């Protein structure tokens, strides 16, 4: 996966969307075309895809109108029909209408012991390489919080800049803001998932980054969103009463998973909260539990909890003694068609103190071998 970076200077949803669409129009059109083909290969008719996309965009417009406007402006500038870009942003909601993939998507580890100044994090993003030949690292200036719009008041939020990784044309995924809060993102599947077309979960991640400076503020935003698909957002912050929480989101409810007594928090692609685990719908073929067990063992290593552990050291421990053959380093199976192959496309950590992202395209073993790149101050 090639990664492109950009500082987006536009303020307000129309300017920001127009700038993103103009600068990355070719990548956005390519990503949209790949996903539309993927939906068809997944057995979803174009009419069903369009219906879910339309309902999801309407739900987003009611919940966060500025983010809906950003999609519309990006589509116009990028030369993509609005409904097609809405489908890209609602890809989790659309895929929730079909059978779960045989694999999961992503492994996340957070270390938040009392001795650390800020939580230390690392995540792999596992997905189909054929769907994402180009990833984006964007720095954007968020809009005022939704609750403050139209009241004649200026920006009262504490977020001045957001730095995030996402697929071309998507509102958000993984990121950090300059208020010291970050978000990791893992997909889940639940029996309550439907094709009703709720607020896109990727948009929830973006709004949390745009508006929240504490885990408590993030919880309020997450719980306010009506959803039709499941995911888990792992929210970390360097201030506030709580510094790390996994919010397991489903149409049935939102549940919280907290760190263990040592401050270790692990999540892969199955529900951990007892009140949601009964509705688990992940494929039996998924490696989610194998990856979870691996990271749970790794999280128990004392040397991983040092307040100054670099991302290269974290990545080495993330792999453990198995190195590049660890279950968290996903490798494609060339015997399968491209849309069924899973690859670790990105390894990424959040630097909350500096408001920046530390990353390397590829697996954590590749980050160890080649070192991390950094995006932000």
- In eight-state DSSP terms, residue 100 is P
Closest by CA to 348, choosing from 179, 187, 107, 149, is 107
**What average pLDDT does the segment 204-217 reach?**
97
- pLDDT reading at 84 higher than 80: yes
From residue 186, give the alpha-carbon distance in Å to each of 34, 54, 305.
Answer: 21, 24, 23
Rounded to 5°, angle at Cα 251 from 187 and 100: 40
Using 50, 70 and 90 to split pLDDT, how confident is the model at 168? Answer: very high
Phi, psi at residue 138, to the nearest 5°?
A: -120, 145
Name every residue whose Cβ is closer than 8 Å to that of residue 361 and which is 6 or more positions away in sequence. 1, 2, 3, 135, 345, 346
What is the dihedral sign for C-alpha 34, 38, 44, 49? negative
Instruction: Name the percent of the chain in helix, strand, coil, to the closest 5.
Output: 40, 20, 40
Overall CATH class of domain 101-375: alpha beta
At 194, the pLDDT band (50, 70, 90 cuts) reads very high
CA angle 30, 60, 107 (to 5 degrees): 65
Determine the pLDDT at residue 156.
Answer: 41
Question: Helices (H) and strands (E) in the chain — how many of each?
Answer: 12, 14
Rounded to whole angstroms, the Cα distance separating 183 from 197 reads: 23
C-alpha to C-alpha distance for 122 and 333, rounded to whole angstroms: 25
- 341 pLDDT tier (thresholds 50, 70, 90): confident
The tens digit of pLDDT for each residue in 228-249 reads 999 999 999 998 889 999 999 9
What pLDDT sits at residue 64? 97
- Residue 154: which pLDDT band, with cuts at 50, 70 and 90? very low
* Average per-residue pLDDT for the chain: 92
Average pLDDT over residues 278-307: 81
| DSSP letters for 163-207 | EEEEETT-S-SEEEETTSEEEEEEE--BTT--SS--S-HHHHHHH
The three-class DSSP label of residue 39 is helix
Examine the pLDDT at 143 and tell me if it is beyond 90: no
The stretch 161-180 carries a mean pLDDT of 97
Query: Could you tell me which residues come within 8 angstroms of residue 46 by beta carbon, excluding any fewer than 6 positions away?
Result: 36, 39, 40
The band of 151, judged by pLDDT with boundaries at 50, 70 and 90, is: very low
% of the chain exceeding 90 in pLDDT: 83
Query: What percent of the chain shows pLDDT beyond 70?
Result: 94
220 has a pLDDT exceeding 90: yes
Give the per-residue pLDDT at 147.
Answer: 56
Q: Which two tokens stand for residue 206?
A: 């973006």
Angle separating helix axes 311-319 and 288-299, nearest 10 degrees: 120
- Across-strand partners of 359? 348, 373
Cα(88)–Cα(241) distance, integer angstroms:
36
CB 318 within 8 A of CB 295: yes
pTM comes to 0.95
Distance spanning both ends of the chain, measured CA to CA: 24
pLDDT at 152 over 50: no
Give the single-character DSSP code of 161: -
Cα distances from 354 to residues 118, 360, 376, in angstroms, run: 11, 18, 8
Spatial neighbors of 20 by CB under 8 A, at least 6 apart, are: 6, 8, 28, 70, 74, 77, 78, 138
Cα dihedral across residues 211, 69, 13, 197: positive or negative: positive
């Amino acid at each position: 996966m090639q990664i492109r970076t950009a500082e987006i200077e536009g303020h307000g949803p129309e300017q920001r969307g127009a700038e993103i669409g103009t600068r990355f129009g070719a990548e956005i059109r390519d990503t949209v075309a790949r996903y539309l083909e993927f939906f068809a290969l997944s057995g979803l008719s174009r009419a069903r895809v369009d219906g879910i996309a339309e309902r999801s965009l309407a739900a987003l417009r009611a919940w966060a109108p500025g983010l809906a406007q950003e999609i519309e402006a990006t589509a116009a500038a990028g030369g993509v029909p609005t409904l097609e870009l809405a489908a890209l942003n609602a890809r989790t909601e659309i895929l929730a209408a079909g059978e779960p993939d045989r694999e999961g998507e992503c492994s996340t580890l957070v270390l938040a012991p009392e001795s650390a100044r800020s939580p230390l994090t690392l995540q792999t993003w596992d997905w189909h390489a054929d769907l994402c030949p180009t990833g984006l690292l964007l720095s954007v200036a968020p809009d005022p919080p939704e609750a403050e719009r139209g009241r004649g008041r200026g920006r009262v939020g504490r977020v001045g800049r957001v730095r995030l990784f996402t697929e071309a044309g998507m509102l958000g995924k993984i990121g950090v803001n300059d208020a010291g809060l970050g978000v990791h993102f893992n997909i889940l599947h639940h029996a309550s998932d439907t094709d009703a077309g709720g607020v896109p979960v990727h948009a929830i991640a973006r709004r949390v980054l745009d508006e929240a400076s504490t885990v408590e503020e993030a919880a309020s935003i997450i719980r306010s969103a009506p959803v039709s698909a499941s995911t888990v957002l792992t929210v970390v912050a360097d201030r506030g009463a709580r510094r790390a929480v996994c919010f397991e989101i489903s149409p049935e409810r939102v549940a919280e998973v907290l760190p263990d007594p040592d401050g270790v928090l692990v999540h892969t692609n199955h529900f951990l909260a007892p009140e949601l685990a009964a509705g688990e719908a992940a494929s039996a073929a998924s490696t989610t539990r194998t990856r979870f067990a691996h990271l749970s063992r790794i999280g128990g290593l004392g040397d991983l909890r040092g307040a100054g552990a670099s991302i290269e050291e974290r990545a080495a421990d993330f792999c453990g003694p198995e190195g590049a053959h660890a279950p968290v380093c996903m490798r494609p199976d060339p015997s399968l068609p491209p849309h069924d192959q899973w690859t670790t496309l990105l390894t990424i950590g959040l630097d909350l103190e500096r408001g920046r992202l530390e990353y390397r395209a590829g697996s954590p073993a590749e980050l160890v071998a080649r070192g991390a790149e950094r995006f932000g101050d």
